[in-house]
C-alpha cells in the first residue's frame, strides 16, 4: 500500500531561522519528531485497514486516538514550517490585519493574547490561530498534545509548537523567550494566504 503521508521538505535550510531558532533544533524537530508523526500516521492507517479487513473492532478506541494524535501532529508541523520564514517578522497587513483588529481589538492585543496562550500550555501543546467559518471569526486555540482542545471546524492559519523539543536545546526552560523570538520569523504572507483560502478575507461584517 502506498503511504498516505510523507514528510514535506522545508523551503529553507535548517540554519535559516538563526539566531531565533538554532539549526540543530530544526534538524531534530523536522527530521526526527515530525518524521515520527508521519510514520505513526501511516502505520496507524495500515493497522486500521487490517482491522477492517479482519472485522476486528477490539482496538478501535486506541487506534482512533493514535490516528488523531499522529495526523494532527503531521498537519500542525506542516503548517508550523510554512508559517515561518527567514524573511518573516513584523506585522500582518491587508485583510488579515483587519480581521485581527476586528476580532482582537488590535495586533498588539492579539500578539499578547497569542503569546500568553502559548506560554500557559500545560505540558506539551500548541497555540493556534484559526478561522471559524460559521461564526466567521478568528479564534486562538490552546491545544494539548496535537489533537485536544481545538474548536471543531476552525481552519488553522498560524501555529506555534511549544513542546519542549521545539525550543529546549536553545532556550532551556525559557519558553516565553522562545515565543518572543518566534515572532521574528512569522511569515505573515503565508497566514494571509490561508485566511483567503478559508474564505475569511472578506468576512468583516
Residues that bind Mn ion (CB under 5 A): 33, 161, 163
Residue 46 CB, shortest distance to Mn ion, in Å, is: 23
Residue 81 CB, shortest distance to Mn ion, in Å, is: 10
Instruction: Considering the complex, state which of residue 5 and residue 163 has its C-beta at the smaller distance from Mn ion.
Output: 163
Structure letter (DSSP) for residue 173: T
Q: Are 74 and 41 in contact, with CB atoms under 8 Å apart? A: yes
- DSSP symbols for 98-159: HHHHHHHSSHHHHHHHHHHHHHT--SSEEEEEEEETTTTEEEEEEEETTTBSPPTTPEEEEE
Instruction: Considering the complex, state which of residue 99 and residue 121 has its C-beta at the smaller distance from Mn ion.
Output: 121
Residue 167 CB, shortest distance to Mn ion, in Å, is: 10
For the record, the C-alpha cell of 106 comes out as 488590535
Instruction: Considering the complex, state which of residue 129 and residue 143 has its C-beta at the smaller distance from Mn ion.
Output: 143
Q: Are 74 and 5 in contact, with CB atoms under 8 Å apart? A: yes
Residue 103 CB, shortest distance to Mn ion, in Å, is: 27
Q: Within 13 Å and on the Cβ side, how many CA atoms surround 98?
A: 10
Instruction: Considering the complex, state which of residue 103 and residue 161 has its C-beta at the smaller distance from Mn ion.
Output: 161
Q: Are 20 and 184 in contact, with CB atoms under 8 Å apart? A: yes
Amino acid at each position: 500500500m502506498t503511504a498516505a503521508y510523507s514528510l514535506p521538505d522545508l523551503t529553507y535550510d535548517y540554519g535559516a531561522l538563526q539566531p531565533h531558532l538554532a539549526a540543530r533544533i530544526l534538524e531534530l524537530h523536522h527530521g526526527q519528531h515530525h518524521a515520527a508523526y508521519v510514520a505513526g500516521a501511516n502505520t496507524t492507517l495500515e493497522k486500521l485497514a487490517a482491522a477492517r479487513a479482519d472485522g476486528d473492532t477490539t482496538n478501535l478506541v486506541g487506534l482512533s486516538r493514535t490516528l488523531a494524535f499522529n495526523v494532527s501532529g503531521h498537519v500542525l508541523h506542516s503548517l508550523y514550517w510554512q508559517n515561518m520564514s527567514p524573511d518573516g517578522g513584523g506585522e500582518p497587513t491587508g485583510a488579515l490585519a483587519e480581521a485581527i483588529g476586528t476580532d482582537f481589538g488590535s495586533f498588539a492585543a492579539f500578539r499578547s493574547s497569542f503569546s500568553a496562550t502559548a506560554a500557559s500550555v500545560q505540558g506539551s501543546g500548541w497555540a493556534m490561530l484559526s478561522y471559524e467559518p460559521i461564526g466567521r471569526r478568528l479564534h486562538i486555540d490552546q491545544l494539548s498534545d496535537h489533537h485536544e482542545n481545538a474548536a471543531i471546524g476552525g481552519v488553522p492559519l498560524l501555529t506555534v509548537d511549544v513542546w519542549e523539543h521545539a525550543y529546549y536545546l536553545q532556550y532551556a526552560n525559557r519558553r516565553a523567550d522562545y515565543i518572543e523570538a518566534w515572532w521574528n520569523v512569522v511569515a505573515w504572507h503565508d497566514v494571509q494566504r490561508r485566511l483567503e483560502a478559508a474564505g475569511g478575507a472578506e468576512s468583516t461584517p
